[in-house]
Amino acid sequence: MAFDTFRNFSRSLVSPPEQGTAIVPSDSEGLDHVTRALWVGGGGDLRLGMLGGGEVTLAGIVPGSLIPIRAVQVFATGTTATAIVGLW
């Protein structure tokens, strides 16, 4: 395992993410972890359920975008973006 010079520093929302997983959009299943950011490899639209309870559609996301956002769900309906990775 690599040595972590910053292992004794506290983590916050402005710290770089330490975990991640590919996301399969679903209209019925929420995410296992609230995200701190989403990586979008293939451009398009993202319809998201937000930590605060609302929903939002982000239109026209450019491929290779890193979006700092606290999402709890990525909906299949309304999402055309691909290669989505949740980071936390």
Cα–Cα distance list, 82 to 10, 14, 22, 25, 62 (Å)? 33, 25, 10, 9, 11
Per the domain annotation, does 55 fall within a domain? yes
Q: What pLDDT was estimated at residue 52?
A: 97
Say if 7 falls within a structural domain: no
Domain count, the chain: 1
Structural domain includes residue 19: no
Looking at residue 11, its pLDDT comes to 84
Q: For position 48, what pLDDT does the model report?
A: 98
Chain centroid to CA 28: how far? Answer: 17
Per-residue model confidence (pLDDT) at position 85 = 98
Give a yes or no: residue 49 inside a domain.
yes
Domain coverage including residue 50: 33-87
Distance CA 88, CA 11 (A): 11
pTM over 0.95: no
The predicted pLDDT at position 38 comes to 98
Give 14-69 pLDDT, tens digit per residue. Answer: 888 999 999 999 999 999 999 999 999 999 999 999 999 999 999 999 999 999 99
